[in-house]
Amino acid sequence: MDKSLQGFVGAESAKAEKSLENIEKRLKKAEEQRHSTQMQQLEGLLDKIFPNGSLQERTDNFLNFYLNDPQFLERLMEQLQGFDFSLKVLSYED
C-alpha cells in the first residue's frame, strides 16, 4: 500500500465508523420512542379497565352505561354466565 494513501484510508475508516455510530444512535432512539408510545397506550388501556387501580364496576355506576344504552342490561346478561367467576372484559362499539 502506498504510504501517501495511509492517512486518507485511516480518515475514511474513522468517518465510516462515526457514521455507523450515528446510525446506531438514531435506531436506538427510534426504538426507545416506539417502546415509550406502546407503553403509554398500554397504560391508558389498563387505566380504562382498572380505573384508580381498581375494577371498573367499583368506580363506575352501571346507570352511566344504561342511560347511554337502554339495552345495556340485556347485552350484559348475554355475556355473563352464572357461577362463572372469571374476569370478563366487555367492550362497546358505537
pLDDT category at 1 given cuts 50, 70, 90 is low
Produce one character per residue of 67-79: b if its CB has 16 or more CB atoms within 10 Å, e if not. eeeeebeeeeeee
Q: What is the pLDDT of residues 9-60, one digit of tens each?
A: 889 999 999 999 999 999 999 999 999 999 999 999 888 888 888 887 777 7
Note the pLDDT of residue 8. Answer: 87
Note the pLDDT of residue 93. Answer: 67
pTM: 0.50
Going by C-alpha positions, the residue among 85, 65, 64 that lies closest to residue 75 is 65
Note the pLDDT of residue 3. Answer: 79
